[in-house]
Amino acid sequence: MTTDPAHRRNIVGAAWMIAAMAAFAVEDALVKAVSDLLPVGQILTLFGLGGAAIFVAIALRQGDALVTPDVFAPAMRLRVLFEITGRLFYVLALALIPLSTATVILQATPLVVVASAALIFGERVGWRRWTAICLGLLGVMIILRPGTEGFSALSLLALVGMLGFAGRDLASRAAPRSLSTAILGLYGFLALAAAGLLFSAWQGASFRWPDARAALLLVAVILIGIGAYSCLMKAMRTGDVSAVTPFRYTRLLFGAALGIAVFGETLTLGMLVGSGLIVLSGLFILWRGQKASLRAGI
């Protein structure tokens, strides 16, 4: 019995995506752990510089020019701005709120991307997908619980971080095609380092020499973060986007599991209902998008 090559590629791509989401969840948990030992600005700066150094090595090995006119294109400048916003606020959220809550809110990113693509790029989004987007955003509101005693203003940090990541994804789409993944990664991590320096200056927190445990955690964050990014790129380049992308939501499972097992967090009914709405809405949007592509003959 032979296996369809396209089907095999989708299986491999899905495996890469699951590995990427598991690694990103571990990265989040490590960032949360090291935030108890070092200032957030220092974590961002060292993480950004470490990741940038690795991507410089990758880019040079591929023969990519590190600085070209396209690097300063308007879309790239916007990408850096959104990267700084997303990274800074999401790391602050990881440090100050439960890991499971931050992870769940982050899963709304694709919903915001689809809605923004319709409004900014004029992509066609029918009433069914708009309904799904609204239901997914309702799920975010159920998790945040504004106006109730259970509302925590700190949860808004994760919301702003999620919006920053959505803006980054949209800017990445508009970035010049001449820029390789390594170059995008390089400037993304440089933006992360810039976010750390800006936050440190605003907070007035001086850098501290990390002890052995903090240094080990930082090295692990950098290596796992690069591995997660590489797995994600491998996934998107191996299988069909429509087949591989739904497995992004496994990050929610990994994040919630780590939050419960490592940090002793609990999942409330509101979080379960809200995350269910977010995931189902996202999967429905992907399914409708795939159907629309097939009808258009793409």
CA 176 from centre of chain = 21
Q: b vs e for 91-104, b when ≥16 Cβ sit within 10 Å of the residue's Cβ?
A: bbbbbbbbbbbbbb
pLDDT at 3: 56
pLDDT at 298: 47
pLDDT at 269: 85
Q: Cβ distance 30 to 224 under 8 Å?
A: yes
- Residue ranges in the chain modelled with pLDDT below 50: 1-2, 298
pLDDT at 2: 47
Q: Write out pLDDT tens, residues 188-225.
A: 889 889 989 988 888 887 888 888 999 999 999 989 98
pLDDT at 29: 94
CA 157 from centre of chain = 14
pLDDT at 245: 72
Whether the full predicted model's pTM is greater than 0.75, yes or no, is yes
Question: Is 63 exposed, middle or buried (CB count within 10 Å of its CB: 0-12, 13-18, 19+)?
Answer: exposed
Q: How many residues does the chain have?
A: 298
pLDDT at 258: 92
Q: b vs e for 144-175, b when ≥16 Cβ sit within 10 Å of the residue's Cβ?
A: bbeeeeeeeeebbbbbbbbbbbbbbbbbbeeb
What are the respective helix, strand and coil percentages of the chain, to the nearest 5? Answer: 80, 0, 20
